[in-house]
Amino acid sequence: MRMILLNPAPLSVLHVDTEALTQELKACTANNCRMRGDVEEAIKWRVASIDEELPIWRKLVEDYRAIEYVGWQFPEYRYSKEDPVCVLREARQELLSRCAALAAFFRENISAEK
């Protein structure tokens, strides 16, 4: 079994400065939600949930050896604003660059079919 953590922040969830990490996570999450088109109330709710989620994310990486992708550049809004096949190829390449075993979760060829 493999667990992955797609972290949009430039700091690992294991970063020792929890305040700096939390602020980065909240800023990145808020930006991704805005880019996706979420309303401000939904963005505030999502950002507020990070305080409860961060200890769990840390536990996944520390205790359960989840693979953390720091600075994840493929938030869901990109799939609707850019060529989704191109974005999917780039995301797949990034995932496989850290863990080749994840190849089992992808079809052999990603085509332009929708």
The 10s digit of each residue's pLDDT in 37-48 is 999 999 999 999
- Residue 73 has a pLDDT of 96
pLDDT along the chain (114 residues), means of 10: 93 97 98 97 98 97 96 95 94 94 77 49
CA distances from 60 to 33, 56, 91, 99 (A): 24, 6, 21, 16
Residue with tokens 């693979």: 67
- Residue 113 has a pLDDT of 46
Tokens of 95: 């995932």
